Amino acid sequence: MAEPLPSPLSLPKSQYRQIADLLRARIETGHYEKDDPLPSEPELAAELGVSRVTINKAISLLRIEGLVRVRRGAGTYVRSTPRITRDARYRYAVVPGGTHASELEGRALGLTPRAECTEVGEVGAPPDVAAAFGIDQGDPVVVRRRRLYADEEPTRLADTYLPWDVADDTELLDSDVGSGAIYSDLADHGHGPVRFAEDITVRIASDEEARALDLEDGQAVIHIKHVAWDATDRAVEVALHVMPAHLWRLHYDWDVFGPDEEDDE
C-alpha cells in the first residue's frame, strides 16, 4: 500500500517564501528604512546562497504586498507611504471649510494630500447605481470622478454619483467642488444625508485601475460602495471607492446594544 501524501501544512515553506519573510522582517524592523534601496538581486543571492531566480520570486511577493516597488533603471526600493487609517467614526463628521476626512487622515501622517477631478457631468446610471436610486439603468445621473494622492502617490479612485434632478443647475456640477463640500451642497438643496451604508469587498485591481493607481500586477484593491440617504429616506449619493489594499486600514467601532435598548429607540 502506497504511503499517504504529506499534508500541505506539513510541507516545509518554499525557499523564496522564507527569503521573503526575512526581507519583510528587515523592512519592519527598520534594517531597510522607508525609501531605502534593497541590495541588488545578485548581492542578495550571494549573501543568502540562493539563485537570482529565488530572490526575484521573493521580491515579487513583497511587491504584491506593497512593501517595495521597482523604480525602472534604479532598483527596488522600500515604499515610503505609510498605511492610512480610514476611521468610520469621523468619516462623515462636519469639518470647517468642507475639508474631506481623507485629507485630514493623510495630514495626520505628515502626508500632503491632493485631489484631481478627472470628470464631472452627465452619464447613464450603471446597474448598481440605478438600483440604489430606484431608477432604470442608463437613466441620467451626475458623476464626479476623482483621483486622490498623498505625497503624489495615488491612494484612491472615487466616483460619486448623484441623482440628476438633485444636482442639475447646482454647484454640484462644478469641477472645483471638493468632496467634503458635496454634503453641504446637498443640505443647502434640502437633501442633507442623515444615514449611510457601505459594502466592502477586496479583489485584484483591473488593468485600468492598476494603471490609474500605479499598482503592480496582481495587487489587491479595497472596493467600497457607499450610499447616503436624506431625511425622506431617498438615496441621494452613491460613491464607489477603489483603494490600494496595502495603503489602507479600515477601522470601525460601535457600541453593543441589548434588545431592550434597541426597542427603546
Better pLDDT: 144 or 260: 144
Confidence label for 157 from pLDDT (cuts 50, 70 and 90): very high
**CATH class of the structural domain 84-251:** alpha beta
pLDDT at 156: 95
The domain ranges of the chain are 13-78, 84-251
pLDDT at 141: 97
Fold held by 13-78 = Arc Repressor Mutant, subunit A (1.10.10)
Better pLDDT: 156 or 189: 156
Confidence label for 179 from pLDDT (cuts 50, 70 and 90): low
Q: Could you say which DSSP state residue 185 is in?
A: H
Contact 107, 135 (CB under 8 A): no
Q: What pLDDT, in 10s, does the model give residues 212-227? A: 999 988 999 999 999 9
* This prediction's pTM: 0.82
- Report the mean per-residue pLDDT for the chain: 87
Antiparallel, parallel or unpaired: β 153-163 and 235-244: antiparallel
pLDDT at 171: 82
Confidence label for 8 from pLDDT (cuts 50, 70 and 90): very low
Q: Give alpha helix (H) positions in the chain.
A: 15-28, 41-48, 52-65, 101-107, 127-133, 164-167, 179-188, 207-213, 259-264
